[in-house]
Amino acid sequence: MADLVFYTRSNCGLCDRLKAMVEAIIDGDGRDGLHLVSVDIDADPGLIEQFRFRVPVVMYEDAVILEGKPDEQEVRQALDAIE
């Protein structure tokens, strides 16, 4: 199983949008090998410094694969590239 790390914060509409999109594609396409792990940047001062103005960010193996407001095609391409 591959973990996708989803850097987020509360009350972030873009974060909610991207999380729903990634989860829908993972669940809808039967990508059982992918798992989205949410990390609230506000719980860690180091993460606040690193991601303050960048959330949402999805990383795989320490590389950013999605950030900001990607469309569904961009999300699918990013997920396809790691499988």
pTM of the entire predicted model:
0.90
Which domain covers residue 76, as residue numbers?
A: 2-82
Domain CATH code at residue 58: 3.40.30.10
**C-alpha closest to that of 69 among 21, 10, 3:** 21
**Gap between the Cα atoms of 69 and 46, Å rounded:** 23
Tens of pLDDT, residues 22-49:
999 988 877 778 889 999 999 999 999 9
- Please state the domain count of the chain: 1
Instruction: Check pLDDT > 70 for residue 1.
Output: no
Q: Which residues pair with 39 in a beta bridge?
A: 7
Predicted local confidence at residue 31, as pLDDT: 78
